[in-house]
Amino acid sequence: MMKTGTVFLVGAGPGDIGLITVKGLEAIRQADVILYDRLANPKLLEFASSDCELIYSGKLPDRHILRQEKINDLLVEKALAGKTVVRLKGGDPGVFGRVGEEAASLAQYQIPFEIVPGISSGIAAPLYAGIPVTHRDYAESFAVVTAHDKSKDGKPMLDWEGLARGVDTIAFYMGVGNLSFICENLIKHGKTTSTPVVLIQWGTFGRQKTLEGTLADIYEKAVEAKFSNPAIILVGEVVSLRGKISWFEKKPLYGRQILLARTSAGPSELAKALMDKGADVIEFPKWKKINVTIDLENIFSYDKMLFASPESVDEFFAAVMEKRMDIRQIKADFYGHSSKTIKKLNERGFMADLADDLMPLGKCLVVGGECRQTDALVTSKKEIDRQFLPIFKRMLEEAEVNTMIFPSSASVEPFIEGLKECGIEASELLKNTSVVCMGSQSMKAVERAGIKPDGMPASATKEAVVDYLAAGE
């Protein structure tokens, strides 16, 4: 008899992937199946194993990809098949996340489950906008309120008097469509027209937007600004603190929505550096690695060894150690295709030069790449993870990319070919985008591909890229 799997009902937090809990991240890493919502940052899926099944269960205001009943059934079906299942939900699963219904379905079939709390958007988004929801001088009470419910017209049936007179700070979730109704009822039941209000869209993302006003004028401002969900509406005197302690929007790359061409299956230090400085980063393509048997029979006969990527360094030395070979017998001079590759070699105690300085003398081996002019050693193979193509397209639809980064010449062609698999032409996608190249070789490859580069940083390092973008280049 097949053993029943376990289901983890996980809060993904409000958007910034750094706000996922340790327990939530562990659940993602061990999952066989993940059902994820629209508001769960898709970048969290990159922590899943390459063979994890990803199922989109997002909901939009005007349509449902999967209805709640179908989601419940899928959780049961996958768990009964012995799978470890993660239901990944934006924010906290217990705050308007319908986790109670999903847990009840699992309990009905005696399926073991755990509920992993997440940071709720109604608290996190205001903090990223510089507003604590409570403050000893302004607010001693706080309420979270759904701004739409199951009533026929979708307008919330609430204790408006209790909210207006009894609560200092109110966070309405997903309520932009009912903003006028909310303001009218709060004023009608006791809030002054001058009560501060802030709308926070895509809170904790680099594309976070805020709009300030009062109960008297915020609706007109929202219409003029074409403000839309997903957003938190925060009402209360504590909103006035924003001017003093706003911090996230002061980060040097706040507002940068960056598309980063990838050649590696591993995590990107550049992407992390950009996000740490306030940018949104979409990485493409997503790669998965296929291990191969590495033939090291003739490595001692070469005068030069050119490592094609940082990963090729790790894979090469892992194979050498596994075969218990004496690395001291390698007489070759080491070269790297990029500064990151050279750094990897340096970390292992080897001096190395850039490939640009490689002299065409002596017998050369390319490690982890291909070369028509010399021998090559394949350390691993990789292919585009096609399960991520529809995820990437949805990320593009939600974002407004304004910056493109090509970190190496090798990143250009796979990026363009990957876009074609999504039905997207690179020239069309990037026509109003600032294209940044990390080095002269990258710039030449971009130009050969028919894309106009806008510039490059002083050096091909993540620090130089951050400085270049922060300077407004």
By annotation, the residues acting in catalysis are 37, 59, 174
Residue in the structure block whose two tokens are 């938190």: 232
Q: How far is CA 218 from CA 116, 169, 224, in A?
A: 35, 16, 10
The values of phi and psi at residue 359, to 5°, are: -85, 140
- Specify whether the CB–CB gap between 164 and 186 falls below 8 A: yes
Stated as kind and residue range, the H or E segment containing 346 is helix 339-347
Using alpha carbons, list the distances in angstroms from residue 377 to 260, 293, 380, 408, 421.
27, 10, 9, 21, 29
The residues pairing with 347 across neighbouring beta strands, listed in sequence order, are none
SS3 call for 107:
helix
The backbone torsions φ and ψ at residue 435, rounded to the nearest 5 degrees and listed phi first, read -100, 120
What are the two backbone dihedrals, phi and then psi, of residue 173, each rounded to the nearest 5 degrees? -95, 135
Please list, in sequence order, all residues whose beta carbon lies within 8 angstroms of the beta carbon of residue 433, skipping any fewer than 6 positions away: 259, 401, 402, 403, 404
Distance CA 11, CA 97 (A): 9
Q: Contact 274/281 with Cβ under 8 angstroms?
A: yes
